[in-house]
Amino acid sequence: MSDETETRDRILDAARSAFLRHGTSGARMQEIADAADVNKALLHYYFRTKDRLAEAVFTREARRLLPPVLETLGSEMPLDEKVRRVVELYLEVLPEAPGLPAYVMAEMHYHPERLPAFVESLTGATPQAHGTRVRRQLDAQIAAEVEAGRIRPIATEQFMANLISLCIFPFAARPMLQLMMGHREGDFEAFVEDRRERLADFFLRSLRP
Amino acid sequence: MSDETETRDRILDAARSAFLRHGTSGARMQEIADAADVNKALLHYYFRTKDRLAEAVFTREARRLLPPVLETLGSEMPLDEKVRRVVELYLEVLPEAPGLPAYVMAEMHYHPERLPAFVESLTGATPQAHGTRVRRQLDAQIAAEVEAGRIRPIATEQFMANLISLCIFPFAARPMLQLMMGHREGDFEAFVEDRRERLADFFLRSLRP
DNA sequence: GTCTATATTGTGATAGAC
DNA sequence: GTCTATCACAATATAGAC
């Protein structure tokens, strides 16, 4: 049973790699089995279908990304700290996961109907509950900061969209960015390093009165 | 031959719809044929393989998005005008193309080796040429603005990444954003409308000294 | 250019031994 | 739990008539 979970994890790792490189339907069960060093039949033994295997991978990856960010945004932490924390979280994890954001966004478009149940199983709460909790917390904080004259008025939706866009997009569009910027070996890593130091300030500065 | 191009376009439209909804390998030739109201064999007559059909769709879509933006960024236009123009371009086109950014980004990750040749065929110039032209033009403009004390120093790469991220990401991650924001029918459109008016200012404000 | 019919291979999934 | 062998069908691609 240590073997059991070890094999299961090996399959998940192999599947993750294949799915991120080819997409769910582009990946081949045979390739995953080979990479996990097991037989194809074993994939079905553990996950029944390709679709469920993809779901397991998707869930495992999302669990690393969504909960910490939602928790941070919905917390009592001061607004500027939240911004720094979210930037930190994303720029820490995403460099280790090339292809993940693009894969996730594409799959979300291909199966939007699965999303609500997915988030629910992920957080233990209905999406609406999370949505409104984060939403209200940010609404209140932004209103208070505006009232105190520390930031300009901004719609909470735009605040969230801007922050998350700046964190995730460069990783999702990495091949295009590298091309546009004439990147060579290692340039992207340096770009990200620079970004880790400056992104939060860039964002916060745009909120100044 | 008016028939010829008309049929070809009908196939491209049908393929576009299928690819954006299911991805290249997830889409079925039969579905495309049905939607275009032709037989499957005709798809191969016009495009030989599914892969070439996908490439044709990809190219046609990218041709609408990349050249105008690269041209704007590489032009002699003042920096703040460039920002407003790029925001305008993207927020004008992307609402009509749900699923396109996510599809494009995923496919770029699945076939990064095709990208250089693709950009070359698209713009008639090598990616490096475009890259450096846009790059140098922006480098010079940013340096001049900094020198004049009108903006804070910022690396050109961060400038470009930030601008493009803010424009494209919300459309690429639309399903997730809608969920996080508790959107109902029409809410996303209102969000985009608001964004069209405020995004350029948000970005430019972050550059202020 | 467009169709029907068919070839052929790829691929997810299962049966059953060990 | 893991394997070998195989099924069943889905899906791309082609041949050839009209």
3-state DSSP of chain A: CHHHHHHHHHHHHHHHHHHHHHCCCCCCHHHHHHHHCCCHHHHHHHHCCHHHHHHHHHHHHHHHHHHHHHHHHHCCCCHHHHHHHHHHHHHHHHHHCCCHHHHHHHHHHHCHHHHHHHHHHHHCCCHHHHHHHHHHHHHHHHHHHHHCCCCCCCCHHHHHHHHHHHHHHHHHCHHHHHHHCCCCCCHHHHHHHHHHHHHHHHHHHCCCC
Query: Could you say which DSSP state residue B155 is in?
Result: -
- CATH number of the domain that A4 lies in? 1.10.10.60
> CA–CA separation, A41 vs A43, rounded Å?
5
Query: Could you say which DSSP state residue B189 is in?
Result: H
Looking at CA atoms only, how far is residue A191 from chain B in angstroms? 8
A198 in the same domain as A107: yes
Q: What local confidence, expressed as pLDDT, does residue B53 receive?
A: 98
CB B127 within 8 A of CB B120: yes
User: What confidence tens digit (pLDDT) does each residue in A8-67 have?
Assistant: 999 999 999 999 999 999 999 999 999 999 999 999 999 999 999 999 999 999 988 888
B141 in the same domain as B169: yes
B85 in the same domain as B5: no
B43 in the same domain as B121: no
B58 in the same domain as B134: yes
Q: How confident is the model at residue B132 (pLDDT cuts 50, 70, 90)?
A: confident
The total domain count for chain A is 2
pTM above 0.95, yes or no: yes
Q: What local confidence, expressed as pLDDT, does residue B157 receive?
A: 97
User: What confidence tens digit (pLDDT) does each residue in A62-91 have?
Assistant: 988 888 999 999 999 999 999 999 999 999
CB of B118 less than 8 A from some CB of A: no
B95 in the same domain as B15: no
Q: What local confidence, expressed as pLDDT, does residue A173 receive?
A: 98
Q: A155 and B115: CB-CB below 8 Å? A: no
Range of the domain at A32: 1-48
Q: A165 and B161: CB-CB below 8 Å? A: no
Q: Which nucleotide is nearest to A44 (CA to C1')?
A: C13
B200 in the same domain as B105: yes
Chain B residues with CB inside 8 Å of A70's CB? 180
> CA–CA separation, B168 vs B58, rounded Å?
17
Q: Which residues contact A50 (CB under 8 A, 6 or more apart)?
A: A24, A29, A43
B86 in the same domain as B28: no
User: What confidence tens digit (pLDDT) does each residue in B149-206 have?
Assistant: 999 999 999 999 999 999 999 999 999 999 888 899 999 999 999 999 999 999 999 9
Q: What local confidence, expressed as pLDDT, does residue A131 receive?
A: 72
A81 in the same domain as A176: yes
B61 in the same domain as B37: no
Q: What local confidence, expressed as pLDDT, does residue B96 receive?
A: 96
B112 in the same domain as B177: yes
- CATH number of the domain that A99 lies in? 1.10.357.10
Residue bearing tokens 């005709």 = B42
Judged against a pLDDT cut of 70, whether residue B2 lies above it is answered with no
